[in-house]
Amino acid sequence: MRIDRQAARQVATLFVALACFITSISGRAVAEDPFLKAATTEFPEFRKIVAPADYSARLSEAADSLKSARKDAAAPWPTAGVTVTTVFPESQAAIAGVQEGDIVIRFDDWTVWNAENFPRSPEQPQKCEYFSPTSRRRKSFTAQPGPLGVKCSNFWRPELGYLRGKSSNAKWDADVHLAITSAAHAPDLAETAWSYAIEKGYRPDSFAATSGIVICFAQGRSDAAWEFASLAGRAEATGDAEVHPLLLFRAAAANYQLREMLRLTERYPLVSPMNSTYVQLLMDLHLRRPAAERELPPPHVLAESMHRDDLRSRLIPQRQTTATHRIGGLKSGESLTVKTEPGFFQENAISSTEPTPNVDISFRFTWQPAPGDDKGYRKQTVFQLVDGRVDTRVELDHLNKKTALVGFSLAEELCELQFTSPMPNLTYADPAIARDQEHSLRIVRVGGQAELFLDGGRLLYVPVDPTAGEPWLFFRTIGSTLVIRDLKFDELIERP
Mean pLDDT of the chain: 84
Which pTM value belongs to this model? 0.87
Q: For residue range 288-339, what is the model confidence (pLDDT) as tens digits?
A: 888 888 888 999 999 999 999 998 888 877 765 666 656 666 666 678 888 9
The Cβ-side half-sphere exposure at 334, using a 13 Å CA radius, reads 11
Q: For residue range 366-423, what is the model confidence (pLDDT) as tens digits?
A: 999 998 887 777 889 999 998 776 544 444 444 444 467 899 998 887 888 988 877 7
The pLDDT, as a whole number, for residue 172 is: 97
CA dihedral 244, 45, 58, 414 (to 10 degrees): -30
472 in Cβ contact with 394 (< 8 Å)? no
Amino acid at position 402, single letter: K
Report whether pLDDT(348) > 90.
no
Helix axes 187-199, 173-181, angle to 10 degrees: 160
Cα 155 off chain centre by:
17
151 or 9: which leads in pLDDT: 151
The pLDDT, as a whole number, for residue 2 is: 40
Measured between alpha carbons, how far is 479 from 100 in angstroms, rounded to an integer? 26
- Mean pLDDT, rounded, for 448-474: 88
- Mean pLDDT, rounded, for 17-24: 40
Residues 6+ apart with CB under 8 A from 149: 87, 88, 90, 91, 92, 93, 94
| Number of helices (H), then strands (E), in the chain | 17, 20
The pLDDT, as a whole number, for residue 349 is: 83
Amino acid at position 355, single letter: P
Percentage of the chain with pLDDT > 90? Answer: 52
Measured between alpha carbons, how far is 194 from 208 in angstroms, rounded to an integer? 7
Cα 5 off chain centre by:
35
Confidence tier at 350 by pLDDT (50, 70, 90): confident
Q: For residue range 187-241, what is the model confidence (pLDDT) as tens digits?
A: 999 999 999 999 999 999 999 999 999 999 999 999 999 999 999 998 888 777 7
How far, CA to CA in Å, does 294 sit from each of 256, 262, 379, 459, 492? Answer: 11, 19, 38, 20, 19
Report whether pLDDT(161) > 60.
yes
Residues 6+ apart with CB under 8 A from 387: 403, 404, 405, 465, 468, 469, 470, 471, 472
How far, CA to CA in Å, does 78 sit from each of 68, 127, 138, 272, 355? Answer: 15, 17, 9, 20, 52
- As beta bridge partners, residue 155 has 81
